[in-house]
Chain A
Amino acid sequence: MKKKHYFTCIVCPVGCQIELVEEEGRIVEVIGGECKLGEEYARKEFTNPERVLTTTVQVEGGALPVLPVRTEKPISKKLIKSCMKKLAEVIVKAPIKCGEVVYANILDTGVNIIASRDLPAKEDKLLK
């Protein structure tokens, strides 16, 4: 049975509405994009959409109570929720440098979670 999926392309500001027709997981047709990039975007979004996850983790002894972190590379959209659950348990110790790995190879994706800022320890001045 054929099934239709709809995507709003985000490659450029035009924001084409793209229709992707699928039959048992196989892409049959992609229509509605004003250019080739829209078709590629819809195919990728259908087969394996990926996102960079940005969130915070708890900090012990830091100048601030939470540290902003991110996945070093995009991860599968399906993993975002379980990734958040894992990171809810993480507590890091200050001081931390921007780019430092705070959680390696999350959910066996091969992707590290890294700090997105410097965070000094509580007794230090936030920034000199």
Chain B
Amino acid sequence: MIGGGPAGLAAALKAWDEGIRDIYLIERDMELGGILPQCIHDGFGAIIFKESLTGPEYAQRYIDMLAKTEVKIKLNTMVLDITPEKKVTAVNSEDGILEIDAKAIILAMGCRERTRFQIMIPGDRPAGIFTAGTAQRFVNIEGYLPGKKIVIVGSGDVGLIMARRFILEGAKVEGVYEIMPYPGGLNRNVVQCLQDYDIPLHLSHTVVEIKGKKRVEGATVAEVDEHMKPIKGTERFVSCDTIILAIGLIPENELSKRSGIQMDDTRGGPTVNEWMETSIPGVFACGNVVHVHDLVDYVTESAETAGISAARYIKRELERREKPIKIELGRNVRYAVPQLISEKRLKGKIRFYLRVRNPERKVEIKALARQDKVFVKKFRIVRPSEMIRLEIPTENLSKAEEYCQLRFEVEGEQT
């Protein structure tokens, strides 16, 4: 297991439950839980535990369950390399170089925040520019407040949550500037983090320049047009000492790419089948390393699938179709996970995670095998920020099995 966040924890537990007894869980941080220990707000676990837990509490449940197993945990340990032959090379200051010949590998490295340089904000390079997650770590783990007068760029969930956190700790939040015409984060966070504290959300706005010599002195913001280009004459200067970037997350796949695993360009994670297996047989991936989830519950869900599948792989129980069913993306579908269905004898249901490109209402999500509609589900609204989860009964998939193809289409009205 590479990574000890929610994905690695759940995958390790499931593999253990399936009877696998020689498991290493390798984590580069000093403790388990991944990003959860710094996500001190509540709202985690609503689906799995039917209660609203904080991030540390959610992690604690899995850490406690893992403590009852004999999974070997390696903290402060960095994985340097994995090979297609499933050799894992890792390093820490106790063991030196560790080489593990694995029968199966589960990638659970999570995701990483996008930075200023990925959206190219022009201007000075003073101190006081942080990603939302870095600021969150400072405030919630290290006990420092990174600034007193804050501008937030982007309206991803971590940014919204940090806006509230800054206010509670006595800082002033000047506003949240989002380049899209709709918020990047969940509705719940817009209401409970911004509206509750009267923090202005400026949609279709961006930062066009950062100013400051040693420390941030302010940001020039501007309205953008429908092509997301700043509109001349709308620029205004906002004085602040800190700029927080909440501009999205990307799966962290340096290891996967180096090992030659096939990647999916629509979301920056490995191509996987319904077992969460990558293009290298016996190498699985789950959680945010595959695609960025908005709820940890679904990270856990995908990790459990990966854990069970890895165990089945080791026990030689996975039976493959001659030719996998390929998943294709139709109208308004940004991505779908999995991209392949590999199981020879399909039974039960197949779970899909989808994300749309544009928000729409009165929506029908259809699955088609060539021209045949094999599955439909209705949604009142779909948004890019909210992942869609579908379960398709395998008895609906006989045509897809025949054609080795299944296509998703989202059809709705503009919001």
Contact = CB atoms under 8 A, between A and B. Distances in A.
Interface of A: 8, 10, 12-15, 34, 51-52, 54-56, 58, 64-66, 68, 70, 77, 80, 84, 98, 116-118, 126-128
B287 interface: no
B46 to A, nearest CB: 12
Contacts of A70: 40, 42, 54
Contacts, number: 77
B345 interface: no
Nearest to A12: B380
A10 B187 CA distance: 7
Q: Decide if the interface of chain A is mainly helix, strand, loop or mixed.
A: loop
Contacts of B381: 13-15
A111 to B, nearest CB: 14
A77 B63 CA distance: 32
Contacts of B59: 117
A91 to B, nearest CB: 12
Contact of A56 (B40, B67, B196): B40
A13 B32 contact: no
A10 B56 contact: no
Interface stretch (B109-117, B138-146, B332-340): B138-146
B187 A66 contact: no
Given A10-B187, A126-B30, A68 B196 contact: no
Interface string B45-72: 0000000101011011001000100000
Given A10-B191, A13-B187, A58-B143, A126 B31 contact: yes
B409 interface: no
Given A64-B142, A80-B168, 13 more contacts: A8-B195, A13-B386, A54-B42, A56-B40, A64-B141, A66-B143, A68-B37, A68-B40, A68-B56, A117-B57, A117-B59, A126-B30, A127-B32
Q: Of B75, B139, B187, which is in contact with the most chain A CB atoms at under 10 Å from its CB?
A: B187
User: Would you call the interface of chain B mostly helix, strand, loop, or mixed?
Assistant: helix
Interface residues of B, number: 34
B399 interface: no
Interface in B103-158: 139-143
A14 B32 CA distance: 35
A117 B56 CA distance: 6
Contacts of B187: 8, 10, 13, 15
Contact of A13 (B63, B140, B142, B383): B383
B266 interface: no
Nearest to A6: B195
A128 B139 CA distance: 25
Given A13-B386, A51-B196, A126-B31, A56 B57 contact: no
